[in-house]
Structure 1
């Protein structure tokens, strides 16, 4: 539970700040794709790899961390991970070619993954189940704030300075957040000195494995497309580079409120019903944006709709997963969840590079095929969630 010096509300705010920095660190790379292509000579169709290596680092480290996270005080582990994330992010500013950038991003992911897992474990420990959906919506709002503030500011810093500048700024902000976390975050000592092994949750039949499979399907569906949004809108649809920040600003602002609404709906109606409804909207967005592009639709409407659907699905999925693990395995499960989430992110990004090509003008080809694959995975996600809810209810 939160310490007397830090109320539940302020603890949620601190956790949201940690997630905000972590998400900005990850999200800002894809919109910087055209800038990185010019600065380092990376092909625009290969931006999924640049996004994917961060996820690979986060996946491997989260799998390893699952064996020890529940053995250490939460605060100490969190500060360690934030310091490593700051170092990895700052190192990206020194990249001189593609490989040095990939190495720095892998290091950042290796610390960012466990940091995200610890943040969610701290939140679930502190917030009772009846308010958890709302808390998840508030913390998930960090994604929206990252879009509203982080990504547009990062793009503007790159425009005014160079592509190096955003990495410097985020690295320093992460260092500052590590100092704040060391000062304010409750210690939350381990409930068990020898918790049960965590890796069996990946392969043994039961709610944890099913929940992780559901998460993997949902994340892969999104990240087949997310690394290429900036390139698609700028090059395929001729949206001005100087207005890309505005897309993220407006989309992030609206999704900030929609995620809170999705959290309240998950508490009231259950995440499964929310997931069915939002998935239907997501399929429609895929159709009009990528599969059968409706050029009469404003690009702003396309982008906002995509963001609203993806972020609302994220709230429903995370709310459902918060009920899966017992307290003594919570950090371990959240670490496995982070590993699976980042593995799915990397998988989506890498698969997209196999399907997509580009013409001599840099225009992405085969996006409709990619969107169909994303749609098939999207249909599976609420079906898996329904089965997971049945297993959780039966166990209780």
Structure 2
């Protein structure tokens, strides 16, 4: 079934996809903020929270790569239900661990299912959505990333403080299982792609495929050079009061959601190049005036939401455009490989940024402007790659549904 006939049911399934995406991403986001609550009861050094999140991310990337050739051999709904059930069951089990080692390995196991689940989820959304609406629908599901930071992380922290850190995992795992049950009841089977399945999918080296992989890796890497260190940079380099930093992230999240919807609407109206050029130029502008130059030229309360909005919009545009490259029978595998490269690039950039930076006795980060310059160069390279994909999809030989984008 390529599109849902009933608009009401279409909206329900889209909301389910977004909520599952939000919970899955939020479960990974919450580990670092929960570190202080996990340390004492699990006898865990604070820095080990980074190992927990890092191992889960690595597990997701590796499992995405090795599962990609097989994901399109199954109907989307039963595969999604199976992977989501395993993902959220393991997260639920994290609420009963007694040592940090148990938590580390259980959380890593949840990452094994997270990578293929995310690829199958996005392939399902593309399958269910007519080409003329994909920009907005994919942007809506991708809003789960922003909502994870705005809603899931604060709720997890609140549960940890009011009840116990265990309830953060129990609540997310339980809510995820409930949503998975609704997916089993309400999602269409989504198995039309199997009729055209030629055999085991192999990684392809056509230019559009390679541009797509390069773009997603550069975008994730450039973003992760800066994001993990924003809170420290704001506090110690820019002297932002600690209580103001959550407000900045809230504004950034709200701006991101609005920008992704705008980007999706532009693509659906056949203005893909406008969305790509506008979002990337704004992101480079915000990076340059906010973080490359030592003296910020505009107030942070304007620069940071602009940065987050532009970054999210260009990611949403690239995701929608690259989703049109593979045929339906290769869609989930293609997205699985993209997830692998994004995860590896993000992790490598985070580690590299941590090694590069140093801190003064007063906490000020040294070398952040250089990281911002490297991020700017990555954004520019990904910008060029995305433009090449748009132009390539417009060629007469392209099979894509968005060749008129």
TM-score range, shorter chain: 0.7 to 0.9
Q: Deviations over 1:122-179 (max 9, x none)?
A: 1111112222112122222222322332233334344445555433322222122122
Q: State the partner residue of 1:64.
A: 66
Q: State the partner residue of 2:45.
A: 41
Structure with the bigger RCO (C-alpha within 8 Å, sep 6+) is 1
| SS of structure 1 residue aligned to 2:269 | helix
Alignment of 1:69-88 (within 5 A): 69-88=71-90
Any conservation in 2 of the 1:232–1:363 contact (CA below 8 Å)?
yes
Task: Output the CA distance in 1 between the equivalents of 2:198 and 2:227.
Answer: 37
Call closer, same or farther: CA 1:173–1:134 in 2, change over 3 Å: same
Call closer, same or farther: CA 1:157–1:242 in 2, change over 3 Å: farther
Moved more, 71-80 or 249-258: 249-258
Q: State the partner residue of 2:401.
A: none
Task: Output the CA distance in 2 between the equivalents of 1:35 and 1:242.
Answer: 19
Any conservation in 1 of the 2:289–2:297 contact (CA below 8 Å)?
no
Q: State the partner residue of 1:150.
A: 152
Quote the offset at 1:224 in angstroms.
1.6
Task: Output the CA distance in 2 between the equivalents of 1:224 and 1:111.
Answer: 26
Task: Output the CA distance in 1 between the equivalents of 2:278 and 2:146.
Answer: 20
Q: State the partner residue of 2:19.
A: 17
Q: State the partner residue of 1:208.
A: 209
Structure 2: tracts of 5 or more residues without a match = 399-405
Alignment of 1:298-309 (within 5 A): 298-309=299-310
Alignment of 1:177-188 (within 5 A): 177-188=179-190
Q: State the partner residue of 2:402.
A: none
Q: Deviations over 1:158-212 (max 9, x none)?
A: 44455554333222221221221122121112533644433322xx233122211
Q: State the partner residue of 1:338.
A: 339
Alignment of 1:114-133 (within 5 A): 114-133=116-135
TM-score, scaled relative to structure 2: 0.85
Task: Output the CA distance in 2 between the equivalents of 1:235 and 1:206.
Answer: 44
Q: State the partner residue of 2:275.
A: 274
Q: Deviations over 1:282-309 (max 9, x none)?
A: 1222234333344685544343222212
Q: 1:166 is matched with which residue: 168, 174, 192? A: 168
Q: Deviations over 1:22-46 (max 9, x none)?
A: 2212333355566667883234xx8
Any conservation in 1 of the 2:267–2:275 contact (CA below 8 Å)?
yes
Call closer, same or farther: CA 1:88–1:226 in 2, change over 3 Å: farther
Alignment of 1:318-333 (within 5 A): 318-333=319-334
Any conservation in 2 of the 1:47–1:227 contact (CA below 8 Å)?
no
Q: State the partner residue of 2:378.
A: 377
Task: Output the CA distance in 2 between the equivalents of 1:35 and 1:228.
Answer: 21
The alignment yields a C-alpha RMSD, in angstroms, of 2.9
Aligned length: 392
| SS of structure 1 residue aligned to 2:72 | helix
| SS of structure 2 residue aligned to 1:349 | helix
Call closer, same or farther: CA 1:305–1:294 in 2, change over 3 Å: farther
| SS of structure 2 residue aligned to 1:283 | helix
Task: Output the CA distance in 2 between the equivalents of 1:297 and 1:269.
Answer: 33
Task: Output the CA distance in 2 between the equivalents of 1:37 and 1:244.
Answer: 23
Rg bigger for which structure?
2
Q: State the partner residue of 2:387.
A: 386
Quote the offset at 1:389 in angstroms.
2.2
Q: State the partner residue of 2:403.
A: none
Q: State the partner residue of 1:248.
A: 249
Quote the offset at 1:78 in angstroms.
0.9
TM-score, scaled relative to structure 1: 0.87
| SS of structure 2 residue aligned to 1:71 | coil
Task: Output the CA distance in 2 between the equivalents of 1:130 and 1:295.
Answer: 40
Structure 1: tracts of 5 or more residues without a match = none
